[in-house]
Amino acid sequence: MLPLRGPHLVTDHCRRALTAVGATGYDAPRMDSSLVLKNDRVLRAFRKQPVDVTPVWIMRQAGRYMPEYRAIRAKADFLTLCKTPDLVTEATLLPIDLLDVDAAIIFSDILIPVEAMGMELVFTDARGPQLPKPIRDRGDVERLKAFDPETATGFVMASIRQTNRALDGRVPLLGFAGAPFTLATYMVEGETSKHFYRIKRLAYEDPSLLHRLLERLTGVVAEYLVAQVEAGAHAVQLFDTWAGALSPDDYATWCVPYTTRIVEAVKRTGVPVVLYVNGSGTFLEAMADTGVDVISVDWRVDLADAKRRVGRRVALQGNLDPCALYAGPDVIRREAVRILEKYGPGPGHVFNLGHGILPDIPVPHAKALVTAVHDESRVYHRSGA
Ligand code: CP3
pLDDT digits (tens, 9 = 90+) for 228-278: 999 999 999 999 999 999 999 999 999 999 999 999 999 999 999 999 999
Please identify, by atom number, the ligand 1 atom nearest to the C-alpha of residue 82: 9
Tell me the domain boundaries of the chain.
31-381
Ligand 1 in reach of 64 Cβ (< 6 A) = yes
Which percentage of the chain shows pLDDT scores above 70? 90
Ligand 1 in reach of 242 Cβ (< 6 A) = no
User: Given a cut of 90, is residue 341 above it in pLDDT?
Assistant: yes
Ligand 1 in reach of 61 Cβ (< 6 A) = yes
pLDDT digits (tens, 9 = 90+) for 64-122: 999 999 999 999 999 999 999 999 999 999 999 999 999 999 999 999 999 999 999 99
Q: Which of 301, 205, 291, 190 is nearest to 244 (CA)?
A: 301
3-class DSSP string for 80-149: HHHCCHHHHHHHHHHHHHHHCCCCEECCCCCCHHHHHCCCCCEEECCCEEECCCCCCCHHHHHHCCCCCH
User: Given a cut of 60, is residue 6 above it in pLDDT?
Assistant: no
- How many angstroms separate the alpha carbon of residue 60 from the centre of ligand 1? 7
**pLDDT value, residue 35:** 63
pTM: 0.92
Cα–Cα distance measured from residue 251 to residue 257, given in angstroms and rounded to the nearest whole number:
9
Q: Which CATH architecture has domain 31-381?
A: Alpha-Beta Barrel (3.20)
Question: Is 60 one of the annotated active-site residues of the chain?
Answer: yes
pLDDT digits (tens, 9 = 90+) for 20-57: 322 233 444 444 434 699 999 999 999 999 999 999 99
* Residue 38 burial class via C-beta count within 10 angstroms: exposed 0-12, middle 13-18, buried 19 and up: exposed
Pocket test for ligand 1, best of 66, 102, 110, 115 (most atoms within 8 A of CB): 110
